[in-house]
Amino acid sequence: MDVATRIKDLPPYLFAQIEQKVAEAKKRGVEVLDLGIGDPDLPTPQFIIDRLCQEAQRAENHRYPSYRGLAAFREAVAQWYHSRFGVELDSEREVVSLIGSKEGIAHLPWCLVNPGDIVLASDPGYPVYKIGAMLAGGNPLELPLYPQNNFLPDFSIFPDSVWKKTRLVFLNYPNNPTSAVATLDFFREAVELAHRYQFVIAHDLAYSEISFDGYHPPSIFQVEGAKEVAVEFHSLSKTFNMTGWRIGFAVGNDKVIEALGRVKTNIDSGIFNAIQWAGVEALSRYQEVLDWILPIYTRRRNLLVETFRSLGFDIDYPQATFYLWIPTPQERGSMEFASYLLDKTGVVVTPGQGFGKYGEGFFRISLTTPDEVLQKAAERIRKLGG
């Protein structure tokens, strides 16, 4: 039996080679230190767990939830946006709950893209941007992020003929994997372009709360006119250490939000209400969580930046995200260097090519690993450099 062409066209799992090498190293008895996964090691705050347990005891929460999301959760999202960004949202028309932001990002092209429509996706970037476009029959094109431009796209590289066929543009700041940040002036440029050519901007804001040194990443909706052309995705995964809970949301243009909700009514049955009530608790007390986690990530960031700088690597202190994006030494390929580091030290990093062709020549390290593991990894890397 053959599979559909759309499945055949999906790219192979790019980290299979590393996974195989990790398995081989473990068989040899190597203590592997994994700095590759962006999955917070810190526990979900107890007050969120307590709210989940409380709501799980209520029989009414075990019925089918609302497809658009619990009204109280959507209201909490709107209140959080007002508190955090000064942005007003209509919780009835401009907010929809998601089973994690990945689900919404993958399904958005189904709402907007017809076969052959161009979708521009940040590269290096989250692979789901391109894959969602492919599954919808769109034509994904790379939106290159170059270090000489601070990993911000240069929109002028595309001719008018491309923009006229563009239906959707994926942006992500603070950025995974590069940790780059964007200003409101950058978002104004993107919004003006979207108005001119009538495409939709999908801004992935998953890392807005993981920031350092007094920096506070903006929302695209702080730009006038953004609601007419944009939607923004967010997740409780990174801020609240809730990756396994699968709860997120999309906000913005009411027509796009309605279309995304319509897709969801046909393919899923919403998020368990008890989880949404826990999400209400999380959003209403978000500053308590930041006061706890940000000093930890700051300490980890400083440790690894200082380690790699001492070895001659060209790396700055990132202003946001819990990733370090580091050039590979001696012009080595990213997979070659990741394999070398694993073989020599047992430390796992993510090769940049896994995030697209413009990720080649870099590797990513995640700070979502216990301090003692990071310390041990840093010591091994220093010895290798010495």
218, 237: one domain: yes
Pair (224, 261) in one structural domain:
yes
**Could you tell me if 206 and 238 lie in one domain?**
yes
CA distances to 134, 206, 272, 316 from 362, in Å? 25, 22, 39, 14
SS3 at position 139:
strand
136 and 156 share a domain? yes
Domain boundary among 260, 285, 310: 285
How many structural domains comprise the chain? 2
Domain identity same for 275 and 311: no
Q: Assess whether 30 and 50 both reside in one domain.
A: no
User: Residue 331: which CATH number?
Assistant: 3.90.1150.10
Of the three residues 235, 258, 285, the one that is the final residue of a domain is 285
Q: Specify the 3-state DSSP secondary structure of 123.
A: strand
- Residues 255, 225: one domain? yes
- Are 186 and 81 in a shared domain? yes
The secondary structure of 317-366 as a DSSP string is --SBSSEEEEEPGGG--HHHHHHHHHHHH-EE-EEGGGG-GGGTTEEEEE
Q: Which domain holds residue 356?
A: 5-43+288-385
Q: Which residues pair with 364 in a beta bridge?
A: 325, 350
Amino acid 242: pLDDT: 97
Q: How many Å apart are CA 132 and CA 128, to the nearest integer?
A: 6
Q: Are residues 247 and 344 in the same domain?
A: no
Residues 15 and 129 reside in one and the same domain: no
Three-state DSSP at 172 gives: strand
User: Looking at residue 15, what is its pLDDT?
Assistant: 63
pLDDT in tens, the chain (386 residues): 788 888 877 776 656 667 787 888 889 888 999 998 889 999 999 999 999 999 999 999 999 998 889 999 999 999 999 999 999 999 999 999 999 999 999 999 999 999 999 999 999 999 999 999 999 999 999 999 999 999 999 999 999 999 999 999 999 999 999 999 999 999 999 999 999 999 999 999 999 999 999 999 999 999 999 999 999 999 999 999 999 999 999 999 999 999 999 999 999 999 999 999 999 999 999 999 999 999 999 999 999 999 999 998 889 999 999 999 999 988 789 999 999 999 999 999 999 999 999 999 999 999 999 999 999 999 999 888 75
The CA distance from 198 to 163, in Å, is 9
**Whether this model's pTM surpasses 0.85:** yes
Contact 204, 309 (CB under 8 A): no
Q: What is the pLDDT of residue 186?
A: 98
Is 172 found in the same domain as 157? yes
89 and 231 inside one domain: yes
The CATH number of whichever domain residue 267 belongs to comes to 3.40.640.10
Distance CA 186, CA 49 (A): 38
- 177 with 185: CB under 8 angstroms? no
Sign of the Cα pseudo-torsion (370, 334, 239, 274, in order): negative
Q: Specify the DSSP element, H or E, that contains 252.
A: strand 248-252
Answer with the one of 235, 266, 285 that is the final residue of a domain. Answer: 285
- Return the exposure string of 288-320: e unless at least 16 CB atoms fall within 10 Å of the residue's CB, then b: ebeeebeebbeebbebbbebbeeeebebeebbb
DSSP 3-state assignment of 210?
A: coil
